[in-house]
Amino acid sequence: MKEINIDVAVIGSGIAGLEASLDVADAGYKVALIEKSPSIGGRMISLSKVFPTLDCASCITTPKMAAVSHHPFINMMTYTEVREIKKNDDGFDLYAIKKPRYINEGECISCKKCEEVCPVYIEDDFEHELSPKKAISIPFTNAVPQLPVLDMNKCIRCGACARICPKDCIDYLQKAEEIHIKAHSVIISTGYDITPMNAKKEYNAISIPNVISPLQMERLLAPHGPYGKVIRPSDGKIPESIAYVQCAGSRDKSIGVPYCSRVCCMYAIKQAMLLSGSLPLADITIYYMDIRAFGKGYEEFYSEARAMGINFVKAKVARITADEKGSPVLRIEHQEEASKPKEIKHDLVVLSQGMIPAVRDFLGLDLEINEYGFVSSRDKTLNPSQTNIDGVFVCGVARGPKDIPDTIADAGSAAVSAVNYIKSIKGKSL
Amino acid sequence: MSDNNLNEAQKRVGVYVCHCGGNISDVVDIKKIVDEISKYHSVVVARDYVFMCSSNGQSLIEDDIKNMGINRIVVAACMPSLHELTFRNAIQRAGLNPYLYEHINIREQVSWVHKDNPQGATSKAILLIKAGVEKVLMQDPLNAIRVNAEHRVLIIGGGISGMRAAVSSADNGIEVVIVEKEKKLGGKLNRDGYVYPSDEKAVDIVNKFSKKILSNPLIKVYTESEIINIGGYVGNFDIKIKKTDGDIDNIKAGSIIVATGFDHYMPYDGEYGYKKSDYVLRLKEFIELLSKSDGLEFVFKGKKINSIGFIHCVGSRQNEGIDAPQADGKVNEYCSRVCCTSGIYTMNKLKEKFPDVNVYDVYADIRTYGMESESLYEIASKHDVIFFRRPLDERPQITFEGDKIKITTTDILSFNERLEMEVDMLVLLTGMKPSEIDDISGYLKLSKSTNRFLQEVHPKLRPVEMNINGVFAAGTSLSPMDITESLQSAQTAAMKSAILLSNPDIPLDPFVAVVDEERCTGCGRCVEECLYSGAVTITEKTIDGNIKKVAYVNPAMCKGCGACVAVCSERAIDLNGSRLSQFEAMIDAIVKE
Ligand SMILES: Cc1cc2nc3c(=O)[nH]c(=O)nc-3n(C[C@H](O)[C@H](O)[C@H](O)COP(=O)(O)OP(=O)(O)OC[C@H]3O[C@@H](n4cnc5c(N)ncnc54)[C@H](O)[C@@H]3O)c2cc1C
Ligand code: SF4
Ligand code: SF4
Ligand code: SF4
Ligand code: SF4
């Protein structure tokens, strides 16, 4: 088994993990950044533009990803899953599995020739199933590292990739590699999933193709998105009327997510603004309970959206059905007018889903989580990054829903806590 | 360095044009740029890529330096302040002097501003890049200036953010000096009553930190003290502190964390009836009153309180034309973030103590965004707090009838009905405003955001860094935040300051003024013009055996603004990295077309 000795193991490489790793490494400590996906970058790298500044998400994330991959103190371990974490007297033992990409990573020159010739198309999880990719492919344009992954379950063993590869990299028999990481401290930055699209049965999101997730809309709006423009999935039509259903996956006890997810008001407003830029003729309506624009510059952003003509309607959406053309029909309970529930048709509907923790089981680590599965702070008014276990810190959405600015502030907090913790234990052992 | 002696033919320029996803390439014709620039003199290679700042993009540059002997780099992409450092690092990794590089902005200055004229945008981009080539051809290799750093951080403000930053910095082994203007550390938390989300007494939080601070030998605390000047520069700030007794201490610090917090918004006389009646209180006043009130009935100044109204967004989320402006003529457009939760938390406390008091709440949006806060909102509903929702562009009207306070508002929840209710007491959920720190921001020349809180360099890339190297900000000096959020930001500021001070010397950009001592006549006009005292001075030097007066630039203090260059009649002072001759060459390239 390969053995690695480092100071801090950072688990999860979204913007929280990237920032925390860079801070710890810049302070002179060795980091292993462990990511289960084939590329670092987390959710943020798949977003279009980010509120409230409307910077493109890639422009902010890619340089951080590059900085991580070049940092002499950061050991970037992608496509690697932690199987077990043990606390011992002088730190932590992490047992991880590096999954096989079925290529020789040291030799691959990222020429994409394998990807070009592969005859098999599979669903592209990065594009949230909006478009296909090849059974062997580099995960996305600006992935780090630029290494293809071969999907052994879908591959038909035709051998085309192996024949074309100029470096003879393809290795169908590659095995997973076991790795033992010894660390003094652990930072948890495992991030989030969005509330499942079928959480609210009344919205029929699974059976109506034109009811989409906000992450799909991010891809439709992204400069390098699947179609290069915003079209609706069922028939490729350009939507003339688009609606957002707020709190679709939050503030709702019946689906087990009673808390507010903090970001969905703002991303809906952002997407609405971007849509009105790319589809100037489209009507955009946001059905909401409260608009929670509480961060720096957010209220101003909300005012701007109202001035741009985006419709904000205080109403609850009780149910979604589809008409014969596949257009979603929303049953609306207005708060503003004393009218009976109405049925309103839109071409495309986005469910503003909330955030739930991506990981709830910390594999042998007796980490305290709250009733919704987020990692708890030992003392929120002393050090929010400190978990119940000495030496284990948490940041980003793993600790609770947060937008990017709050996530970045949280990452620095976890980093300084980990660095100072190591200083304190090293001080004692001297 | 040998590069200085390269002749024109040996200078090999590589030009790298970024699509920025589509931010640039949707407007300008990248292919045309690359075609045309490849033909321009001295350009050996021109390439384009979707994201030049990504690992792949950077590798293109690195590979060309290594394999094609490229020794001058032009990157045409977004604004330089975003990723200049990224490219400089890549160039350095490939073994070239990182300053032999010019960054041309074809996004903010081209594609974003000329969306409606793609052809014109493309021509403009080409011209700018050609000018960039001319400039980089005349660029000399430069070396970062290195200055020694004091291993000490100054923390301005001893509230929760300042205290947290102090403890984190000291735990990192850095000496700390905290300067607080009040008698005690703790800031706004030095008050009666409890706080969300921990349901602790505010002062208990202060005590947790005070203990750590007062027992830590690395932390020196100045209370009831005032900073009366800050000079110097990153690594070597000189601070003058006036103490209670009037004595002045001089200290040195390598970095500064501004944690000066916020001020409570003060309603003007008559705003929602404030000061017109003793029974109109600000939230802070009400919290203190409530914590002192006990017994079966809620009595205040002899009156039994049976009903209380709460008004949200007082001093926040204001609109021009609807709300009266502040002293500076501005309204507070921002949301103060904490008042909804803090207000509702307090209503629950009230209901627990005095369940019979009727509570009416007038709001526009309820912003209980925190994980536990939504349940506070639910508990309030269970306590029978009655909520009224007003339209965004209307404000509730307050009038007085006898000893009753009358609230009149439109209520969206009852289908836009006009409602009137009479209460015995009114509580205004006043928000935060930036604290008065014109002195500090003046000494340090800090930028302010449009909302008048301090302005970070970039909300995502550098959220706690100020525009002045070595100065960081934490907590509500940046924008409204709750306690936990302030702690996060304070620890991040402590981290960034610790990283800066972890090196014995700090590298600074070499873009500073340089003096040609042969030409300099020592007239001192540059000294008069310079805004940064100490950056340029007149000294005496022995040149060829003669004593001569010449200008001397302190590279650590010079900000590279170029004001001196403009006034020197002898052309004896010039800027590294932006020499006059370079600009002339750029302009020539532009007018030639
Ligand atoms: C539709 C949408 C739009 C948004 N738009 C904006 C916006 O415009 N502006 C803004 O500020 N915020 C926005 N947000 C919020 C933003 O996405 C988050 O604040 C941010 O991405 C959180 O980063 P993170 O690092 O905490 O989590 P993540 O990005 O989820 O990162 C977690 C990482 O951990 C990895 N991981 C998980 N488990 C393991 C494991 N066991 N082992 C190893 N690795 C693991 C994951 O693969 C992932 O890479 C948006 C959110 C959504 C849903
Ligand atoms: S062997 Fe598999 S991965 Fe390779 S080209 Fe054929 S199907 Fe694609
Ligand atoms: S063909 Fe070979 S070298 Fe090229 S990307 Fe595929 S595995 Fe790598
Ligand atoms: S942020 Fe907005 S949409 Fe999301 S849960 Fe909170 S109130 Fe609902
Ligand atoms: S937190 Fe609530 S009361 Fe405070 S300004 Fe924001 S919306 Fe208004």
User: In a structure prediction context, what are the per-residue pLDDT tens digits for chain B, which is 593 residues long?
Assistant: 345 567 878 899 999 999 988 889 999 999 999 999 999 999 999 999 988 988 889 999 999 999 999 999 999 999 887 788 899 999 999 999 999 999 999 999 999 999 999 999 999 999 999 999 999 999 999 999 898 999 999 999 999 999 999 999 999 999 999 999 999 999 999 988 899 989 999 999 999 999 999 999 999 999 999 999 999 899 999 999 999 899 999 999 999 999 999 999 999 999 999 999 999 999 999 999 999 999 999 999 999 999 999 999 999 999 999 999 988 888 999 999 999 999 999 999 999 999 999 999 999 999 999 998 999 999 999 999 999 999 999 999 999 999 999 999 999 988 889 999 999 999 999 999 999 999 999 999 999 999 999 999 999 989 999 999 999 999 999 999 999 999 999 999 999 999 999 988 898 889 999 999 999 999 999 999 998 878 899 999 887 888 889 999 998 888 888 999 999 999 999 999 999 999 999 999 999 87
Name the band, by pLDDT with cuts 50, 70 and 90, for residue A335.
low
**A50 ligand 1 Cβ < 6 A:** yes
Contact A15, A407 (CB under 8 A): yes
User: The tokens 């920032």 sit on which residue?
Assistant: A19
pTM assigned to the model: 0.93
Task: Please tell me which of the candidates B369, B373, B479 has its beta carbon nearest to residue A296.
Answer: B479
**Which chain B residue is nearest to residue A72, measuring alpha carbons?**
B93
Residue B378: list chain A partners with CB under 8 A.
258
| B355 shares a domain with B252 | no
Pocket of ligand 2 (CB under 6 A): A 117-118, 120, 135-136, 150, 155-161
| B224 shares a domain with B362 | no
Phi, psi of B236 (to 5 degrees): -145, 55
| B36 shares a domain with B13 | yes
B35-54: pLDDT as tens digits: 999 999 999 999 999 889 88
Q: Which bound ligand lies closest to the C-alpha atom of A120?
A: 2
| CATH number of the CATH domain containing B486 | 3.50.50.60
CA–CA–CA angle B415, B419, B425 (5° rounding) = 135
Query: Distance of CA B444 to CAs A386, B230, B231, B435, B532, Å?
Result: 33, 7, 8, 16, 11
Phi, psi of A25 (to 5 degrees): -70, -40
**Which chain B residue is nearest to residue A399, measuring alpha carbons?**
B371
Provide the greatest CA pair distance for chain B: 94
**Which chain A residue is nearest to residue B503, measuring alpha carbons?**
A27
Residue A384: list chain B partners with CB under 8 A.
484, 487-488
pLDDT for the residue A336: 65
Task: Please tell me which of the candidates A142, A223, A314 has its beta carbon nearest to residue B54.
Answer: A142
| B168 shares a domain with B102 | no
Q: Residue B581 falls within a domain, yes or no?
A: no
* Distance (Å) from CA A105 to ligand 3 centroid: 9
| B409 shares a domain with B285 | yes
Contact A78, A101 (CB under 8 A): no
Q: How far is A380 from chain B, CA to nearest CA, in Å?
A: 6
pLDDT for the residue B416: 87
Architecture of domain A100-173: 2-Layer Sandwich (3.30)
B219-253: pLDDT as tens digits: 999 999 999 999 989 999 999 999 989 999 999 99
User: Domain range for residue B530?
Assistant: 513-576
Name the band, by pLDDT with cuts 50, 70 and 90, for residue A430.
very low
CATH number of A196-355: 3.50.50.60
> Cα–Cα distance between A10 and A16 in angstroms, integer?
10
Fold matches, A2-98+176-191+358-429 and A196-355:
yes
pLDDT for the residue B9: 80
| B356 shares a domain with B310 | yes
Question: Tell me: domain A2-98+176-191+358-429, CATH 3.90.1150.180, correct?
Answer: no
Phi, psi of B107 (to 5 degrees): -105, -75
Residue A52: list chain B partners with CB under 8 A.
459
Q: Residue B590 falls within a domain, yes or no?
A: no
Q: Which of B76, B253, B75 is nearest to B150 (CA)?
A: B253
User: The tokens 């200083």 sit on which residue?
Assistant: A423
Q: How far is A117 from chain B, CA to nearest CA, in Å?
A: 22
| Domain end point (choices B111, B142, B173) | B142
Q: Where are the beta strands (DSSP E) in B523-569?
A: 536-543, 546-553
| Domain boundaries along the sequence of chain A | 2-98+176-191+358-429, 100-173, 196-355
Residue A59: list chain B partners with CB under 8 A.
20-21, 23, 51, 53, 78, 82-83
pLDDT for the residue B2: 45
DSSP for A294-347, written as a single string: -STTHHHHHHHHHHTT-EEEEEEEEEEEE-TTS-EEEEEEESSS----EEEE-S
Can you say whether the dihedral through the CA atoms of B222, B226, B231, B234 is positive or negative? positive
For residue B203, the surrounding DSSP H or E stretch is helix B202-214
| Domain end point (choices B82, B111, B142) | B142
Question: Pairing state of beta strands A8-11 and A31-34?
Answer: parallel
pLDDT for the residue B8: 78
* Distance (Å) from CA A107 to ligand 2 centroid: 18
With pLDDT > 90 as the criterion, what percentage of chain A qualifies?
90
| B396 shares a domain with B288 | yes
Q: At what angle do helices A15-26 and A404-429 cross, to 10 degrees?
A: 40
Atom of ligand 2 nearest to the CA of A117: 5
DSSP for A56-116, written as a single string: EHHHHHHHHHHHHHH-TTEEEE-SEEEEEEEEETTEEEEEEEEPP-SB-TTT-----HHHH
| B473 shares a domain with B532 | no
Interchain CB contacts (distance < 8 Å): A and B: 227
| Domain end point (choices B415, B432, B449) | B432
Q: Residue B307 falls within a domain, yes or no?
A: yes
Q: Residue B586 falls within a domain, yes or no?
A: no
| B317 shares a domain with B346 | yes
| B490 shares a domain with B395 | no
Average pLDDT over residues A131-140: 96
Question: Partners of A320 in the beta sheet?
Answer: A330
* Distance (Å) from CA B339 to ligand 5 centroid: 5
pLDDT for the residue A192: 98
Q: How many domains does chain B have?
A: 4
* Distance (Å) from CA A168 to ligand 3 centroid: 8
* Distance (Å) from CA A315 to ligand 4 centroid: 13
pLDDT for the residue B4: 59
| CATH number of the CATH domain containing B33 | 3.40.50
| B525 shares a domain with B489 | no
Query: Distance of CA B316 to CAs B284, B288, B456, Å?
Result: 15, 22, 21
Q: Which of B66, B67, B74 is nearest to B92 (CA)?
A: B66
Mean pLDDT of chain A: 95
| CATH number of the CATH domain containing B554 | 3.30.70.20
**A249 ligand 1 Cβ < 6 A:** no
Does A318 have pLDDT greater than 90?
yes
| B113 shares a domain with B74 | yes
Rg, Å, chain B Cα set = 30
